Structures are given as C-alpha cells and as structure tokens.
C-alpha cells in the first residue's frame, strides 16, 4: 500500500450540520479523488467498500469516505424528497471539500444502497456531475429517481447486484445493461450485502468478481484517463 495519511475534513452540510467523514490522503501526489457514499448499515469498513478504497489508493487516488449516520430519527422521519435534499446537500459539500484539497485529474464516485440515491441526486439530468464515472453497488432501482438518473448519466458506470437482494429489479437491470457506458455484474444468490448466506467460499468468490470489475473500472477511470 502507498503511504497514506488518515484524517478528516471540516465539512458543513444540511442545516449547517457537520458531515462526518474520513479522508485517506496520499503522502505523495494523487491523480484522482474517489468519494464513497456507503449504505445505511454498511459502512466504509465493510468488505466491499474497504477493498474498493484500497483499490483506489493503489491507483494513486485520495479517498474521501462519508461517515454520516442517516439511521437517526431526524432523517428517517422525513419525506423521501426531503431525505434526498439532505443527502444532496451533504454530498455536494463533501465533494467540494475534497476537491479543495489539491488539483485532481479525475473524480470517481462510489455509492452503496442509499449511497446510490445520493448518486442519483448528483446525476439528475443537467447536473454538472452527470458525466462523472461511478460505481453503483446494490442500486435502489425500485426508486424512480435512482433508475432514471442511472439511465440518464453520461459517464462510465459499473453496477453490481445480487439476485437475492430484495431491491433487485431484473427489468431495470436489463435497461441499464443496454447502455454503452455501463458494465453490470449480477451475482446469483447474493443478498443486499453482496454475500451468499450460508456460503462463505461463495461469498468470497462473489466479492472477488465485484472487486475485479471495480479494479478494471478504476484502471480505466484513473490510469487510462
């Protein structure tokens, strides 16, 4: 692993609240900034996001991880539009703070579950980040905003989902697979954590498939750009 400094950035988001984060900064120069939006109960220390962080770091990226807690009643009690507004305000402030750290050649975004709702809000048609490369893990395609934004985004995209995930929408993934900019990894029997219940070797094989696709995606997005 490259030499990394672990710190956090001062970020003010929704309602002037502090946006918790972890910043993994290359001691030497960085070509890219990867910003990661995790799931509600799936943090950046869980396997998928932990190893995607490592992959990005190995490719000369700084990594900015969101650590906000959206399980709190203040967030959960809101309507869906108000939740999206909150997520978007936090995300825009986080990205801006990250981009202010140094001059980057590339920006890559990663979202898991509710993090894909954040991606969707950032990628709505006409938004300035709509052509940003992104990794969508277990995207919430049952929500129209997520599917429509994924279909309308112009940047390269990697999507990963399991067929045993309650949020898996087969028809939506067929539409996404038709995009020239998209790569799709569908894991038979994998759940919302992209794990196969009762099958640890199978879970590790599934993880390896996603990480191999993510490594190639980051190669193209960082080293190939």
* pLDDT at residue 1, as a whole number: 64
> Alpha-carbon distance 149 to 219, whole Å?
24
> Alpha-carbon distance 139 to 121, whole Å?
13
* pLDDT at residue 124, as a whole number: 82
* pLDDT at residue 223, as a whole number: 81
**Contact between residue 136 and residue 112 where contact means Cβ atoms under 8 Å apart:** no
Rg (CA), the chain: 16
* pLDDT at residue 128, as a whole number: 83
pLDDT tens digits along 33-86: 999 999 999 999 999 999 999 999 999 999 999 999 999 999 999 999 999 999
pLDDT tens digits along 116-167: 999 999 998 667 898 999 999 999 999 999 999 999 989 999 999 999 999 9
pLDDT tens digits along 90-109: 999 999 999 999 999 999 99
Confidence of residue 225 (pLDDT cuts 50, 70, 90): low
Question: pTM for the whole thing?
Answer: 0.96
- For the 4-223 domain, the top CATH level (class) is alpha beta
The torsion angle over the Cα atoms of residues 112, 116, 117 and 120, rounded to 10 degrees, is: 170
In the chain, where the domains are located = 4-223
**Contact between residue 209 and residue 159 where contact means Cβ atoms under 8 Å apart:** no
């Amino acid at each position: 692993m490259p030499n990394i400094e672990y710190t956090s950035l001062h970020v003010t988001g929704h309602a002037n609240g502090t946006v918790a984060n972890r910043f993994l900064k290359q001691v030497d120069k960085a070509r890219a900034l990867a910003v990661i939006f995790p799931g509600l109960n799936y943090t950046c220390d869980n396997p998928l996001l932990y190893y995607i962080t490592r992959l990005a770091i190995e490719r000369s990226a700084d990594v900015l991880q969101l650590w906000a807690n959206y399980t709190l009643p203040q967030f959960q009690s809101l309507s869906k539009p108000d939740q999206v507004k909150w997520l978007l305000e936090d995300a825009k402030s986080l990205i801006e703070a990250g981009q202010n750290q140094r001059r980057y050649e590339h920006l890559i975004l990663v979202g898991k579950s509710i993090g894909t709702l954040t991606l969707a809000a950032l990628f709505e048609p006409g938004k300035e980040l709509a052509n940003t490369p992104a990794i969508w893990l277990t995207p919430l395609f049952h929500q129209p905003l997520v599917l429509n934004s994924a279909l309308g985004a112009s940047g390269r995209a990697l999507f990963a989902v399991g067929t045993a995930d309650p949020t898996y929408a087969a028809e939506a993934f067929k539409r996404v697979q038709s995009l020239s900019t998209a790569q799709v990894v569908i894991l038979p029997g994998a759940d919302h954590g992209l794990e196969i219940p009762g099958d640890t070797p199978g879970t590790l094989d599934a993880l390896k498939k996603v990480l191999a696709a993510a490594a190639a995606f980051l190669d193209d997005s960082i080293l190939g750009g």
